[in-house]
């Protein structure tokens, strides 16, 4: 079974706030560049890929999201998927359903975090709650790195390879 790490990502109030590039204009062009580069940093350090759980997933495809992120400087963004839309519209259940579905495909989620300014999740889910006026901040990234774990960082793998010689 394949093991992966995921970052479930809300957009409004996270990458789109009064701190973002065009001050909360609700368009792809206005997204917070620094926040997107932080997501790249998380990927580089933990290999955690992004799953969009924002309502934006109803309007745009994975490829469109990739284009949006690339336009903000993460040139090869790792966007793994979009959560399903359940009739309950409860994001916690949508995240659960996404993880369960992966499991059926023989992919297990080793660790994950959720960046959201809402709290539409189960208590046991690893929500990193964000102030929707301010958006994502560096402290949230530090927290995510800790929660995701960095044991399969690329440099660790290199180190393992070297130690085998």
- Interface ranges with Mg ion (CB under 5 A): 10, 12-13, 117
Contact assessment for residue 92 and residue 59, using Cβ atoms and an 8 Å cutoff: no
Residues in the chain: 165
User: Cβ 117 to Mg ion, closest distance in Å?
Assistant: 4
Q: Which is nearer to Mg ion, 13 or 35 (CB)?
A: 13
User: Cβ 48 to Mg ion, closest distance in Å?
Assistant: 20
Q: Which is nearer to Mg ion, 47 or 117 (CB)?
A: 117
Give the C-alpha distances (Å, rounded to integers) separating 132 from 9, 20, 76, 100, 104.
13, 11, 27, 29, 34
Q: Which is nearer to Mg ion, 102 or 121 (CB)?
A: 121
User: Cβ 14 to Mg ion, closest distance in Å?
Assistant: 6
β-pairing, 79-82 with 49-52? Answer: parallel
């Amino acid at each position: 079974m394949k093991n992966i790490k995921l970052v479930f990502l809300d957009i409004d109030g996270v990458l789109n706030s009064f701190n973002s590039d065009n001050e909360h204009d609700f368009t792809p062009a206005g997204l917070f560049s620094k926040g997107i580069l932080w997501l790249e940093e998380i990927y580089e350090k933990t290999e955690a890929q992004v799953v969009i759980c924002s309502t934006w997933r109803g309007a745009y495809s994975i490829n469109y999201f990739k284009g949006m992120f690339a336009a903000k400087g993460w040139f090869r963004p790792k966007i793994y998927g979009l959560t399903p839309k359940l009739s309950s519209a409860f994001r916690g259940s949508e995240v659960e359903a996404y993880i369960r579905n992966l499991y059926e495909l023989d992919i297990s989620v080793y660790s994950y975090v959720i960046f959201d300014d809402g709290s539409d999740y189960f208590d046991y889910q690893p929500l990193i709650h964000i102030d929707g006026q301010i958006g994502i901040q560096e402290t949230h990234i530090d927290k995510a790195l800790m929660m995701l774990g960095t044991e399969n960082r690329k440099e660790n793998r290199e180190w393992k390879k070297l130690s085998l010689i």
